Amino acid sequence: MGKKIMLQGTASNVGKSVLTAGLCRVFKQDGYSVAPFKSQNMALNSFITKEGLEMGRAQVFQAEAAGIEPVADMNPILLKPSGNHRCQVIVRGKVREDMSSSDYHTYKPELSKELKTIFEKFSNNHDIVVMEGAGSSAEINLREHDIANMGMAEIADAPVIIVGDIDRGGVFASLAGTMLLLSEEERKRVKGVIINKFRGRKELLYDGVKMLEEIIKVPVLGVIPYSDIKIEDEDSVTTKFKTKMDKNDVHIEIIRTPHMSNFTDFNIFETQEDVSIRYVDYGEVLGNPDMVIIPGSKSTIDDLKYIRENGIEQQIKELQKRGKLIFGICGGYQMLGNKLKDPYHVEGEVDEFDGIGLLDNETTFEKEKVTTQVEATIHDGLSGYMANLGGKKVKGYEIHMGKSKIGENVNDLNMINKKLEENVNYAEGSVNKEGNVVGTYLHGIFDDIDFTRGILNNIRTQKGLEKIQSRVTSFDEFKQKEYDKLADLLREHLDIEKIYKIMEDHENTKK
């Protein structure tokens, strides 16, 4: 079994996911076979592996940083909230069942046994496993049957580093308080702490760091400055959704619905220098965007009700009449159709619900979830914002419960050429005749720079602006450079040698 280290936090959104990715990159650069692992992840952002299995997005970008293919066992338990204190429980990439929070808590001991087997097998395949906790290390009300933080550290017999976020304030108290609330055995596992997201003069922290070390009896392994490195953030309490509307040429507005999923689909736009993005939140209205995106959803009908009741549906229709581009992905695609039918009551008690009606199709929800990776080619002869995109290659993954049947008044968006690495040939997605309403099930379709830049340049042409080339020629290459920047940052501000020693000493004590 390989070495391991576990990053836990004083709270959610302290930066555990990004620091885990950074350590994966550092160890990879140093020549080790390294992999991320998070026993339990609660998120609506998910990914489909090459085997058709579902996992959290955080472990995907951590795997990218480690230079390996993501597999579901990196995130063996994924919880997808579905409202009313219930969640869909996904184990090793497959849906097990929907559970209430109390039922899930009772189910944890059984999952704990599975996790031990999964982790032992997983760890044997790598020199180092960088583990990530969930939320806070010191949730004393959830200590019994914990499988996310210290419970998982015990299952894996892993040393722990606790991360605190100084940007939100109170970092010394949160780190000291976390240590205070841990049991004596749990405190023995903690070998150091990290202060993350620091802004200002580091020397002003020296006295506080020294006093903290005297109180908690473990070293501060580093003070990591706040950085502008563009690493994917899938945390549910992310600050990504704060309004950002720069004076750029192309304005995109994304509707932030209550059950929005896979907002990482839109990270690519942040790399395009002529694009500004605004997430339209509750109580807000659409402005005058060039493109409106309706994202994926864990509860399509509920999110469509939200859009309708808040007046956003009518605003979308008015923007479409004015020639603006409306783009729906997955649940957003389903909403744009004429009807949503739910004969098996997958989403609730309603048998049928009217869609927005901007695409001539209707969706029927089925009992089985579609989970697949695909590669596709954009159809020739599309008009409007899809003009001149024929033949471009795109790829992505599908996660949805419904199937959409298209009518006569739309064109197919693309042809799927490969599904789970097998050759196929069938149509997917819809485009209206005018070419300004588009829908697809493909999460990640925008990651293809050539396709996305084509749409953006068609918008520019409509506005009388010259087409431009992207400075980023490959989104994957862009991300790899960002992972290297992150590794450089950690090498400069984190005691990497001490972390190696923590892992080595822990292994030696077991011999």
Q: Which residues are catalytic?
A: 330, 443
- Look up residue 325 and give its two tokens: 């581009």
Q: For 401, left (φ over 0), alpha (ψ -120 to 50), or beta?
A: alpha
Question: In 3D, which of 96, 100, 49 has the Cα closest to residue 77?
Answer: 96
Phi and psi at 70, nearest 5°, equal -70, 135
Residues 127 and 168 sit within 8 Å (Cβ to Cβ): no
Question: In 3D, which of 267, 371, 368 has the Cα closest to residue 48?
Answer: 371
- Look up residue 443 and give its two tokens: 């999460």
Number of Cβ within a 10 Å radius of residue 244: 11
Q: Which residue has the tokens 């940052």?
A: 489
d(CA 275, CA 280): 16
Q: Which residue has the tokens 């010191």?
A: 138
d(CA 164, CA 470): 37
- Look up residue 417 and give its two tokens: 């050429």
Residues 484 and 25 sit within 8 Å (Cβ to Cβ): yes
Q: Decide the pairing of beta strands 128-132 and 77-83.
A: unpaired
The 10 Å CB-count burial string (b at 16+, else e) for 428-456 is bbbbbeebbbbbbbbbbbbbbbebbbbbb
Look up residue 182 and give its DSSP letter.
Answer: S
Taking each helix axis from N to C end, the angle separating 300-309 and 312-321, rounded to the nearest 10 degrees, works out to 80
Which residue blocks in 204-330 are alpha helix, DSSP H? Answer: 206-216, 300-309, 312-321
Residues 495 and 209 sit within 8 Å (Cβ to Cβ): no
d(CA 404, CA 254): 22
Angle at 154 between CA 151 and CA 160, to 5 degrees: 90
- DSSP letters spanning 89-151: EEETTEEEEEEEHHHHHHHHHHHHHHHHHHHHHHHTT-SEEEEE--S-TT-GGG-TT--SSHH
